[in-house]
Amino acid sequence: MADTVFFKRQPPKNLKELAALSGADIADGADPSLLITDVAPLDTASIGQISFFDNVKYRPQLQSTKATACILSPEAASHAPSGTALLLSKSPYKSYALVAQAFYPDQKPQILISPAAHVDAAAEIGAGTVVDAGAVIGPGVKIGVNCRIGANAVISHALIGDNVRVYPGCCIGQDGFGFAIDPAGHVKVPQLGRVIIEDGAEIGANTCIDRGAGPDTVIGRGTWIDNLVQIGHNVKIGRGCIIVSQVGISGSTVIDDYVVLAGQVGIAGHLRIGKGVRVAAQSGIMRDVPAGEEVMGSPALPIKQKMRQVAFLNRMIKKGKDQKRNNG
Amino acid sequence: MADTVFFKRQPPKNLKELAALSGADIADGADPSLLITDVAPLDTASIGQISFFDNVKYRPQLQSTKATACILSPEAASHAPSGTALLLSKSPYKSYALVAQAFYPDQKPQILISPAAHVDAAAEIGAGTVVDAGAVIGPGVKIGVNCRIGANAVISHALIGDNVRVYPGCCIGQDGFGFAIDPAGHVKVPQLGRVIIEDGAEIGANTCIDRGAGPDTVIGRGTWIDNLVQIGHNVKIGRGCIIVSQVGISGSTVIDDYVVLAGQVGIAGHLRIGKGVRVAAQSGIMRDVPAGEEVMGSPALPIKQKMRQVAFLNRMIKKGKDQKRNNG
Amino acid sequence: MADTVFFKRQPPKNLKELAALSGADIADGADPSLLITDVAPLDTASIGQISFFDNVKYRPQLQSTKATACILSPEAASHAPSGTALLLSKSPYKSYALVAQAFYPDQKPQILISPAAHVDAAAEIGAGTVVDAGAVIGPGVKIGVNCRIGANAVISHALIGDNVRVYPGCCIGQDGFGFAIDPAGHVKVPQLGRVIIEDGAEIGANTCIDRGAGPDTVIGRGTWIDNLVQIGHNVKIGRGCIIVSQVGISGSTVIDDYVVLAGQVGIAGHLRIGKGVRVAAQSGIMRDVPAGEEVMGSPALPIKQKMRQVAFLNRMIKKGKDQKRNNG
């Protein structure tokens, strides 16, 4: 059960209500009027609670769960204990998310714009938007409705859509790393663009997004960015992308829709990463990547090629060891 | 055109003025009295605007630009549209930077030290230095003239020269990761040095610079550091270096003048990186690197050797694939 | 000598006092009543000062040191100049740390909780705990005694033990990167856990620790985390671990006691890293690592295997070069 010091739970709901709001089906034998009081992980759930199963690693936890109800795919249903009421969903994790949101809706502070925030008189903040303590919002910045700007975030030179979340400590809109190299002293190139963040995007804690040099830096609708990510000037990121922690994207690179960049990936500047590309953790991208490809490694290769490389090296090392043993 | 909400443009200037301030020469056939109103990228520039060309990747944009004037190298001049007035420069990007600065000089807020900044009474701030909201400046810190300290930056135990820029969210001068390992509880080693930042250096957003353990941590004159970089205690960085985002430099390493570290590079402690060394992105340095060398990879190798390694692996994988096909 | 603007030194102590407080033995011939006034590095130490030797790289500095006294291991004693008074310790660096702490004890500000900090009325702060300017502490957060919360740190949904240090700019307790992927818009999974930080832990500058999704995120007793580290939701870290700068640990991974993760290491989610494991810098961990193992590389291998891989590649490249020369 969530700590009531930090989280406020809504009243119980029955299985029928939960199925409806989560797009799941009640499995045969489950009672639609069964009352559910809370969500919980498989291994700690107890009577009255609903859990979910979506990763085969956790099958033992499913088999021994004491949850009253569980959301899972039809294929996984046979692994659940016989007494568990099942909600069947093609997207069990999404269904669980909707159930959990119903029990624990987002809470807003009573005073939306903290008196300890520093919002410039020439900034525009939309209705329902929360600005936490210590956030600094510069002149001319526009923020849409129902956004949340985290504590100590710093935003300048930016236009932000609706339902955007900026986490604590983010730096958005500062001028990027643009200069002409000169031994007598690098010469700064004025950075004359902005940062555009489209509706529904999320920007993680302590992430940095530099404003454009002339064009804008753009974060597309519904793209989610994790903590400690670096986005260089003029980068354009499409819709629905997922950018995991500590990724770095160099200036002027274009990332198409629905790209997934795993943790600590680095991407050089002036590249194009096609729609739906998936990049494995710690990869380093130095060339364009065509749409739909999966790549891995530094420098990155298509994932099958990289796997062959790893297997070849492992064979060679084993061979070397065997030779040594035979000669020894 | 830069968004006038965020940027204030100076009045038009003629080609002769722009050539003079940017160190460029007016090409034959261009009219020195031609009036230029603004800067813009090649592909969006229009009548009255000046652009620049400095990367062969953008040659198509040069060939079809509608810019009234363009700064480029004498060698590239033949690729520009015939009607474009040309400014010839050996350093087109530097010349462009100077032109752009003339149209968009740095703006200072009317009140230099934000009333929402927290400057200790025992700190010294030089004339013309801007301190933004939420910045925290500790006792004894000295900051020179014409610096800019970004919003929510935190500075302690530091002496900072003139014309230095510290971007938002930076943490400078905290005690570094110095302790004696002990299973009963690590024992902290008091960190008794300072951070010295010389004139003209720039420190990117959310970058961390730990103070020295006994000696100082030093950032040399005109060295530019990008966002989310980690600089350990006692590190000495020379002049004119370029340190790209998410680089990490471990304690007591010495970086000589004019070194370039690309993004996400990691350098172990107690090393010496010679003058003018260039390190490719994501490289990991575990030994000293002699002056002038270019290195790549983790662990890093001279760039030619690394290229041979990559080529060898690609051949082996191709060979393995061919054998499979022949055997199959 | 430490800059007196920033550091306040205690009165001189004699060798006998220093030996007692640091667990060292006075070597034959050294005078227990010898008065020591300060600590200093080997190369800059002068009369009245005590230094230490613990890294063979610095043997030349030991041999020529002008320090009046030096802490070192019995084995190293013969390398010290004959006139130097020696304190012999099996853990010279730990002994030095204790001596340095005696000369420079931690200083607290006169007002423990800065009036420029933003502490929620429903947060609990223990006795002797310092909260610096700009720190934001949310409702329900509990912080133990004798902690230090750095400037502009942001803490929510967290329970923090005694003697914990949170460095400037840290973000602790925000909701992690938990969502169901959906092309129509990712669906956020409410993050209903907390962050638990046990006694004596340290969390570096600008580091981010996400709260648990249902279980808690836990940082064990005496674990020290460097700057710019990312800790995902549900991560459990044991006691006495050392996590160097820019490491990223993905969600639900368990790190057992006394693990050392060097700089820029990345660890995938849902893994178990056994007790005492040591991971070399920039490694990428994609599988469980058994207790006691040392691993290196991305993907990581046991260190001996990785060394063989590196040696094999170097041989192949040399061979290719020789063939080229012979054929050329």
Mean pLDDT confidence for B214-243: 97
- Is C225 among the domain residues? yes
CA–CA separation, A156 and A160 (whole Å) = 11
The pLDDT value given to residue A310: 85
Residues A44 and A130 in one domain: no
- ipTM for this prediction: 0.95
Facing residue for A308 by CB, picked from B103, B150, B317: B317
Sheet of B254-255, strand order: B124-125, B142-143, B158-160, B195-197, B217-219, B236-237, B254-255, B272-273
Catalytic residue flag (residue B233): yes
Residues C173 and C210 in one domain: yes
Mean pLDDT confidence for B52-76: 96
The pLDDT value given to residue A324: 64
Question: Nearest Cα to B202, choosing from B174, B233, B255, B240?
Answer: B240
Interface test with C, best of A228, A259, A306, A323 (most C CBs within 10 A): A228
- Residue pair A178/A191 in contact (Cβ under 8 Å)? The answer is yes
Facing residue for A312 by CB, picked from B101, B282, B316: B316
Higher-confidence position of A240 and A316: A240
List of residues 6+ apart from C159 with CB closer than 8 A: C141, C142, C194, C195, C196, C197
- For A256, other C-beta atoms within 10 Å of its C-beta total 19
- Residue pair B198/B220 in contact (Cβ under 8 Å)? The answer is yes
Mean pLDDT confidence for A141-159: 98
Q: Which of C61, C77, C103 is the endpoint of a domain?
A: C103
Residues B128 and B208 in one domain: yes
Residues C59 and C154 in one domain: no
Whether B92 and chain C come into contact, CB under 8 Å, resolves to no
Whether B287 and chain C come into contact, CB under 8 Å, resolves to no
- Is A311 among the domain residues? no
Residues A92 and A155 in one domain: no
Residues C255 and C183 in one domain: yes
The pLDDT value given to residue B325: 64
Write out pLDDT tens, residues C5-31.
999 999 999 999 999 999 999 999 999
Query: How many structural domains is chain C composed of?
Result: 2
Write out pLDDT tens, residues C87-131.
999 999 999 999 999 999 998 999 999 999 999 999 999 999 999
Write out pLDDT tens, residues B255-269.
999 999 999 999 999
Contact A100 C206 (CB under 8 A): no
Question: Nearest Cα to A153, choosing from A191, A262, A143?
Answer: A143
Mean pLDDT confidence for A8-14: 97
Give the 3-state secondary structure of residue B77.
helix
Residues C134 and C227 in one domain: yes
The pLDDT value given to residue A327: 61
CA–CA separation, A114 and A119 (whole Å) = 10
The pLDDT value given to residue A325: 63
Contact C96 B189 (CB under 8 A): yes
Hey, what are A9's tokens?
């739970």
Residues C127 and C70 in one domain: no
* Pairs of CB atoms within 8 A across B/C: 161
Query: Between the CA of residue A5 and those of A106, A112, C196, C213, C255, what are the distances in Å?
Result: 15, 21, 14, 16, 28
- Is A138 among the domain residues? yes
Query: B touches which chains (3+ CB pairs under 8 A)?
Result: A, C
CA–CA separation, A122 and A157 (whole Å) = 12
Hey, what are C72's tokens?
């070192």
Q: Which of C79, C103, C127 is the endpoint of a domain?
A: C103
Facing residue for C284 by CB, picked from A39, A228, A282: A282
- For B7, other C-beta atoms within 10 Å of its C-beta total 18
- Is C113 among the domain residues? no
* pLDDT at position B22 over 70: yes
- Residue pair C281/C261 in contact (Cβ under 8 Å)? The answer is no
- Is C318 among the domain residues? no
Facing residue for C168 by CB, picked from B154, B182, B282: B154
Contact A41 C188 (CB under 8 A): no
Mean pLDDT confidence for A245-253: 98
CA–CA separation, B96 and B92 (whole Å) = 6
**pLDDT > 90: percent of chain B:** 89
A109-118, B111-120, B223-232, C300-309: the lowest-pLDDT one: C300-309
Whether B29 and chain C come into contact, CB under 8 Å, resolves to no
- Residue pair A166/A150 in contact (Cβ under 8 Å)? The answer is yes
Residue type, C93: Y
* pLDDT at position B321 over 80: no
Provide the CATH number for the domain around residue B158.
2.160.10.10
Residues C285 and C233 in one domain: yes
Kindly indicate the confidence band of residue B318, based on its pLDDT and cuts at 50, 70 and 90. confident
* pLDDT at position A322 over 80: no
- Is C83 among the domain residues? yes
Paired strand residues for A286: none
Interface test with C, best of A4, A230, A264, A279 (most C CBs within 10 A): A264
CA–CA separation, A43 and A299 (whole Å) = 41
Mean pLDDT confidence for B72-101: 96
Bridge-based pairing state of the strands C85-88 and C25-26: antiparallel
- Is C5 among the domain residues? no
Residue of chain A minimizing CA distance to B163: A185
The pLDDT value given to residue C1: 74
Hey, what are B54's tokens?
């400095």
Residues C135 and C168 in one domain: yes
- Is A4 among the domain residues? no
Write out pLDDT tens, residues B124-149.
999 999 999 999 999 999 999 999 99
Considering the entire predicted model, what is its pTM?
0.96
Whether A222 and chain C come into contact, CB under 8 Å, resolves to yes
Kindly indicate the confidence band of residue C302, based on its pLDDT and cuts at 50, 70 and 90. very high
Residues C150 and C277 in one domain: yes
Residue numbers of the domain that contains C63: 13-103
* pLDDT at position B322 over 80: no
Kindly indicate the confidence band of residue C323, based on its pLDDT and cuts at 50, 70 and 90. low
Q: Which of C103, C131, C151 is the endpoint of a domain?
A: C103
Residues A157 and A295 in one domain: yes
**pLDDT averaged over every residue in chain C:** 95
Residue of chain B minimizing CA distance to C314: B309
Residue A21 CA, chain-centre distance (Å), reads 23
Hey, what are A320's tokens?
């070397």
Paired strand residues for A211: A175
Provide the CATH number for the domain around residue A36.
3.40.1390.10
50-89 in chain B: CB under 8 A from chain C: none
The pLDDT value given to residue B177: 92
Burial code (b: 16+ CB inside 10 Å, e: under 16) for A36-52 equals bbbbbbbbebeebbbbb
Give the 3-state secondary structure of residue B100.
helix
